[in-house]
A and B are shown apart, each in its own frame.
Chain A
Amino acid sequence: MFQSILAVLLFLTTLVGCSTQDTATSSANPSEGPGSSQKIDYPTKPIKLIVSYAAGGGTDTGARMLTSYLEKELGVPVVVENKPGGSGWIGWGELAKAKTDGYTIGYVNAPAIFAGYIKPDSNRKENLESFEFIINHVVDVGVIAVRSDDNRFSTINDLIEYAKTNELTTSASGVGTENHLAALQLNEKLGTKLTSVQFGGTAESLTGVMGGHVDVLMAKVGEVMQAEKEGKLKILAVAKGERAAQFPDVPTIKEAVGADVEFYSLRGIAGPKGMDPLIVEKLQTAFENAMKNPEHVQKMSDLGLAIDGTKGEEYLQVLKDEEAIMLDFKDELGW
């Protein structure tokens, strides 16, 4: 037993050793940071990047794909720490309360984060004001899709017309998630009868629609790309301002039916409120450069994700607009 425990410890330390070694070599050559007109001594030690979801999920994968480039920019290791649970608020709660020294930052997922304080029975003091919004990394654009052999609908207009008189089920991944809100918005603006079936995650939603158990799939570009290519799903509409590069022939909801309904999620970087503006600026520059790395852009686009880069105040404004939509639907959500 001792031997096996020792072996495990050895195994684990080698693991940790390997990963820190990687980062050490990459940090051997700290960049002089282009935006360092005013001198701050930051960063000098590893930065913790909180991901409020489990390892291997979309947010985690995206974060780990960025950190290697980010480490080159910052010259210190960036360590992803997964804090899953509490609908994301285990991690966000910790982030909001973290020291403002810039060594703890984290991913913030919208609109998921709003639910945790808008919902009255969650009794949470934190809100958007509790964070310093640094830069948005990714926009994960929503799509509306049906099974390719569902002959009832060949366009989004067919679907909307049908749903005005018939009840249709749509997939959603939790109360107040973007795909749930989208169904509520369509019901309100167009008088459709969409019922959201809440699933535990994308895997179940995809099975639900591809297996013909649920009528309409509300998912993200990256989640449906391959199934569309293989002719298993028909993408009817893209749920954002402009068409998606992956599906140039698919109209947006707005251009097809005229209703201003969008759904997408944002995954960006934030820190606790009260960070030094110089640190924030330094982080913004580093993230921006890392995100622009062509290799990173290509990898993210393969996953169907669009790199964003909205910073600071502007980023906060985007979040506030999103938050407003959820506030509008408080009644429908039963909050």
Chain B
Amino acid sequence: MSPDIVSQIIHHLFSIQTMVALVVGVVGGILVGSLPGLSATMAIALLIPITFGMDPVAGLTMLTAIYTAAMYGGSISAILIHTPGTPASAATSLDGYQMTLKGQGAKAIGISTISSMIGGMLSALALLFLAPPLSKVSLMFSAPEYFLIAIFGLTIIGSLASKSMIKGLTAGVIGLLIGAIGVDILTGYPRFTFGFPALETGVSLVPAMIGLFSLSQVMIQAENRGKNQGKKKALNIEGKVLPTWAEFKGIFATIIRSSGIGTFVGMLPGAGADIGSWVSYNEAKRFSKHKEKFGKGHIEGVAAPEAANNAVSGGALIPLLTLGIPGSAATAVLLGGLMIQGLIPGRELFTTHADITYSVIFGFIIANILMGIIGLLGAKYFVKVSVVSDAILAPIIITLCVVGSYAINNNVFDIWVMIIFGFIGYFIRKTGFHPAPIILGMVLGPIAERGFRQSVLMAKGDLLGFYFSRPITVVLMILVLIALFSPMIMNWWVKKGAGNFEESKSDGDVADNPAK
């Protein structure tokens, strides 16, 4: 970058309009993200017409700020009231809400904020320095790779958020079956739509998730009302926001790994923030020294998905800006915003329009920092939500559930979907299942199915040859095999090598825990 461009960037960024746009974008994004059903995609779409009249840098900075801030905002409601604000924060609710129940809500928010900020920053740096080479990588992924990434994500399903493996697998299979609803993309045949046109595109993920997590939560709390004052209320909400140095060191590796996963998943057009956060959660658990703590309020379980979903936002901008290929739903909308400003994605963005493009990227970095500051300062206020009486909170959450389900597609049908999934969520939770594997199945099932069937067509008859001729596919297959069999092999190895050990736990963490 020449000094000329640097001065232009400073000139663009430190204008009043851009600064106001940044603050509005970050605050608005956090609010929109924290409300279930109101997503970054929707906020960007709503604001694009307003950016018509704005200076391109200010307009686009506002849109990207909203994008990253909404990713973070989703975690606040996921942590405090078990209501993921966006599908990308569903994984956060697993450990985040448990932390709130333990009175560590403020710390959970703090960790989420720090992880989100670092995730967003690292992905922004990748965008700044590595966009052209990384965009080549994103072109190397197609149907067979998507299939295997989805399978890889599904390998954790049995042990996810459930005490019993059978229950976890069952919930996962239910999710996969729900994911099969909708028009079969390869034949056009409507599967299990029962004549409802709204089901042709499948069960909408957002209303289903709101039902499974939020509505069922309200029902369970309503049921407990009067019985020993309901849920375990957060006892000590004045807890520290910032983690201790030791805690931070403990999650640092997780944050870095998850940021990498998030940036990478963000770059892929067929996979978005929801997948990025689940895969990171899974990997955090796989690599963790404290696997048993996951799902019970473990800080790594909050850090991983939050670093990842914000990293997705920067990652998704890479193919968008370099190739004009949006890496996620929100960036697909952003593409419209760019076009309207006369900025056609491609090499010209980094040459002819370099001043604008780099200003927006720096604006994105500042947005992540601002989001971190606002989040850390606000955490102790946000957390007060968890001590609000259920009698007040429940009606508000239900209202938000209904509004959010409708707003996602402007369709009343989705409200019914939300209510039905609310009941499903209630009954499965009463019987010891967890909604998380259902959501995971719904997200990954269609990607796996579509990826596999598209790859069959691409292979032109020689499927095995096709798969084994692609280096990335081979690596992914090996990873899947390791993920599936390593716990068994480790178990066997530990048992054989140290026969005097008591019956070891089946999830393979014995190697880290020889004293057991």
Contact = CB atoms under 8 A, between A and B. Distances in A.
Interface of A: 1, 4-5, 7-8, 11, 15, 18-19, 22, 54-57, 60-61, 64-65, 68, 81-87, 89-90, 93, 115, 119, 121-124, 167, 169, 174-176, 195-201, 203-204, 206-208, 210-214, 225-227, 229-230, 232, 299, 302-303, 333-335
Interface stretch (B34-42, B86-94, B282-290): B34-42
Contacts of A61: 336, 339-340
Contacts of A169: 457-458, 460
A203 B325 contact: yes
For the complex of A and B, list the 5 residue pairs with the smallest distance between their C-beta atoms, beginning with the closest.
A56-B333, A175-B188, A55-B45, A86-B197, A213-B142
Nearest to B386: A1
B334 to A, nearest CB: 8
A211 B34 contact: no
A214 B458 contact: yes
Interface stretch (B123-131, B179-187, B218-226, B353-361): B179-187
Given A167-B460, A229-B346, 16 more contacts: A8-B35, A15-B50, A22-B49, A56-B336, A56-B337, A57-B332, A60-B336, A82-B409, A85-B201, A86-B197, A90-B409, A123-B195, A197-B143, A197-B458, A214-B142, A334-B187
Contacts of B270: 200, 204
A7 B140 CA distance: 44
B368 to A, nearest CB: 21
A55 B200 contact: no
B324 interface: yes
B417 to A, nearest CB: 11
B131 to A, nearest CB: 14
A175 B186 contact: yes
Interface string B155-192: 00000000000000000000000000001011111100
A27 to B, nearest CB: 15
Interface string B21-42: 0000000100110110000011
B295 interface: no
A169 B453 CA distance: 13
B409 A83 contact: yes
B242 interface: no
B44 interface: yes
A81 B46 CA distance: 11
Contact of A203 (B42, B47, B269): B269
B293 interface: no
A306 B24 CA distance: 36
B119 interface: no
Contacts of A4: 31, 34, 382
Nearest to B52: A68
B333 A90 contact: no
A87 B200 CA distance: 7
A207 B332 contact: no
Contact of A89 (B42, B188, B200, B329): B200
A64 B49 contact: yes
Contacts of B348: 226
Contact of A1 (B185, B333, B393): B393
Contacts of A230: 346-347
B344 interface: yes
Interface in B319-377: 319, 323-327, 329, 332-337, 339-340, 342, 344-348
B309 to A, nearest CB: 19
B448 to A, nearest CB: 14
A214 B142 CA distance: 9
A225 B299 CA distance: 47
B409 A207 contact: no
B410 interface: yes
B204 to A, nearest CB: 8
A212 B410 CA distance: 38
B333 A55 contact: yes
Contacts of A175: 185-188
B198 interface: yes
Given A87-B201, A203-B332, A197 B454 contact: yes
A62 to B, nearest CB: 10
Interface residues of B, number: 72
A299 B35 CA distance: 35
A208 to B, nearest CB: 6
B411 A19 contact: no
B316 to A, nearest CB: 10
B42 A303 contact: no
A226 B460 contact: no
Given A56-B48, A61-B339, A87 B183 contact: yes
A5 B333 contact: no
A23 B42 CA distance: 21
Contacts of B42: 55
Given A86-B198, A200-B450, A211-B141, A11 B28 contact: yes
B201 to A, nearest CB: 5
B385 interface: yes
19 contacts: A4-B382, A15-B47, A55-B42, A55-B46, A60-B336, A61-B339, A64-B48, A86-B198, A86-B200, A195-B460, A197-B143, A203-B326, A203-B327, A204-B269, A210-B139, A213-B142, A226-B345, A333-B188, A334-B187
Given A15-B46, A83-B411, A85-B200, A226 B325 contact: no
B143 A213 contact: yes
A129 to B, nearest CB: 19
B11 interface: no
B139 A334 contact: no
A195 B457 contact: yes
B344 A81 contact: no
B323 A1 contact: no
A335 B188 CA distance: 9
A196 B332 CA distance: 24
Given A56-B332, A203-B269, A204-B269, A119 B410 contact: no
Chain A CB within 10 Å, residue with most, of B188, B393, B409, B454: B188
Contacts of B346: 226-227, 229-230
Contact of A121 (B34, B140, B189, B396): B189
Contacts of B31: 4, 7-8, 11
B3 to A, nearest CB: 27
Nearest to A123: B195
A208 B340 contact: no
A153 B340 CA distance: 35
Contacts of B190: 121-122
Contacts of B6: none
B45 A56 contact: yes
B495 to A, nearest CB: 44
B75 interface: no
Contacts of A124: 197
A271 B500 CA distance: 79
B5 interface: no
Interface in B439-498: 450, 454, 457-458, 460-461
Contacts of B231: none
A199 B454 contact: yes
